[in-house]
Structure 1
Amino acid sequence: MELSSHANSSSSYVTVLKHPQPIQGSIRVPGSKSLTNRALVLAALSKGKSTLQHVLLSDDTKVMITALGLMGVEISFSSPTTIEVIATGSLKAPDQPIFLGNAGTATRFLTAISCLVDGSVAIDGDDYMRARPIMPLVDALTSLGVDVTCKTGCPPLTINGRGGFDGKEVSIDANLSSQYVSALLMLAPNGTNGLKVAMQDDHIGGRGYIDLTLDLMQKFGVTTKAEDNGWSIEPQSYSATDYQVEPDASSATYIWAMEALTGGQIDIGCDPRAMTQPDARVFDLIQSFPDFPDVIDGSQFQDAVPTLAVMAAFCGKPIRFTGIENLRVKECDRISALREGLCNIHPKLAEEQGDDLVVYGDLDLKSLANDNVLIDSKDDHRIAMCFSLAGLLLDGISIRNPDCVAKTYPNYWETLNELGVELVYSA
């Protein structure tokens, strides 16, 4: 199967034609990016064959698959969404630099497990990734005796591995990303002495993703012990496992929002309340539309904030989003991108107040007769998808570079077509 990245069509646009009538239908949301990439890492660190079903095949998971292949892991497809991973329990040094585009999850996880290689691993990304911080993870690995070179605090970086690490305890500043913690936790069982992972701050965004990591580690045969400010993991081995990835909750938020905004009903094939990903917790909040609370703390479901922010524009009152400062270091500065896009719809629709975003949903947007609203996606999949929601209720919403959705939801626009939403593409 071809694993090349989706072509970047940054000069193209898609216009979402107004569709205020109820959207009805049945679709299948792609598998979870978070769970797919975690399962790939843990299968690669296991000995034997793991079968991963309903995986997401997108730009972010393609670069992970390619990278693990370069590190000696045998990965094949038995169906378009089923992967067989055959691993020896050890990784080899790749014979070329690993390029990961703008995949933050892959970059952080692979940086950590590269210390298990006996040799050098060079990791790089695109211009966006070269502006995304990784120094807290680099500092943590360095404290464990790992030789890491990182000149800017962001990729590129080089890990000079020696087949493992001897450190017994590491303290990590996870305020910028919970992925630093998840990376260290997945690495931990491979240490000569095991590892205690301690967090420097108890309150971090995305805490639910750490729980997701711990649960998946258990499924792959590793036990962990919770402590006051972290976890301790004894030396042990991962076990090859057959695992089914649940649908992506972040992607599902756009579908749930389509239901709420149009009064429709869309079956995605699973119970949202049974999903384990942090963004699934916004299902009930989305169902409450337009009666959102005046203040929404988005710290524990950050990838769902763009969806909620666009919905807030139609709630009939001002809504403040707090706890979202980490959105500034995602694929783009999402706080700024959301404010810019909303203000392109109406110049007074949103403003940034420090790291808070305030959306003034008391404006009469549906009376606007503007058929030329251009939204710059900033090549960020979540910005592109969330503003498609505004196009359901407003005329003339056009989004630059629609192909950027390939990062996590490659068939997103096709899904809208399946649900009866009309799209017009232009150069």
Structure 2
Amino acid sequence: MRKMLAAVVSRVLSREAQKPARRVLLASCHYSNPAAIEIKQCDLYRLEEGPPVTAVLTRDDGLKYYRMMQVVRRMELKADQLYKQKFIRGFCHLCDGQEACCVGLEAGINSSDHVITSYRAHGICYTRGISVRAILAELTGRRGGCAKGKGGSMHMYTKNFYGGNGIVGAQVPLGAGIALACKYLGNNEVCLALYGDGAANQGQIAEAFNMAALWKLPCVFICENNLYGMGTSVDRSAASTDYYKRGHFIPGIRVDGMDVLCVREATKFAADYCRSGKGPIVMEMQTYRYHGHSMSDPGISYRTREEVQNVRRKSDPIMLLQEKIINNKLASVEELKEIEGSVKKEVEDAAHFATTDPEPPLDELGHHLYSSNPPFEVRGANQWIKFKSIS
């Protein structure tokens, strides 16, 4: 009996002794830093030179991008769950599958630059600096949301980010207006105006192109081409699917939107082009969304499950970045798993907050109508109901 007890104690002590050694081993690993990685060459329109075909990825940037993409993916999956549990009401458009777009765009510009996008905005909201907690709380209509629970999925804002916009394509002329302000103020800032392949056929986008080119505005017009509009493939809705050529008199580039490094380098190139005073540029990002157009769209009536699974298997943006990080010895598999665990906890904590935080009180319904003004009265649903508006 004593011999058996001694053997058990010996094994336990042996395992405990091995733990610090393993941690020291991981900490002492020598990672390659930085790594030069080949990326897909962009298609060009009215340009002699385009973005580079080699991107430099440091260990810190690789881990940063990986974590951000994991957050966006898990946040969208959690939003899907909360919607089905009826915590989220109304419209909700998810962007899982398009994580390389939002993360790559932010990596290619300055925090002082400006971004405006469509209603598929959750990923951009996060990369622009809004916390997961504030995003999910906004989706559930709680006062801790980034718009105090009054904007919902389509209307979220923060500094230098002008929303999710509910009207198809309406954000593009607004983005041209922001770029006009940048030029007027002479602050060397640019505006990214994002829209989808479905919105690309809107007339107001052509009008914005014309004014931006005429006045040489520092605006990057970005078409997120995920191959399907509201249940309709691009081939059935567009006479020309070369969206990067739609500017006609504006130069354009077509980018692999599933590769975060390709998006980053293309965005840097486009932003530098605009900052140089040459005027606007059009950028098409070829990407893919895993969910349907909105929560009311199952997403498999106009495409097959096999098509979606094939993209997941071959072109998933998180998987592609993970392979680059591991293959170039920028981090270990264990480190990436630790990041996944940390992200999972962050999203779960945010979801708990988003389902327990109180809803905004009715007397705050008229607040924040203007960014700066003295308090004034706002009429409610009828002339006898009054609300006080403060900034």
TM-score (structure 2 length as normaliser): 0.26
TM-score (norm 1): 0.24
Hey, which of these two has a bigger chunk of helix by percent?
Answer: 2
Query: Which of the two has higher C-alpha Rg?
Result: 2
- Larger % of strand: which? 1
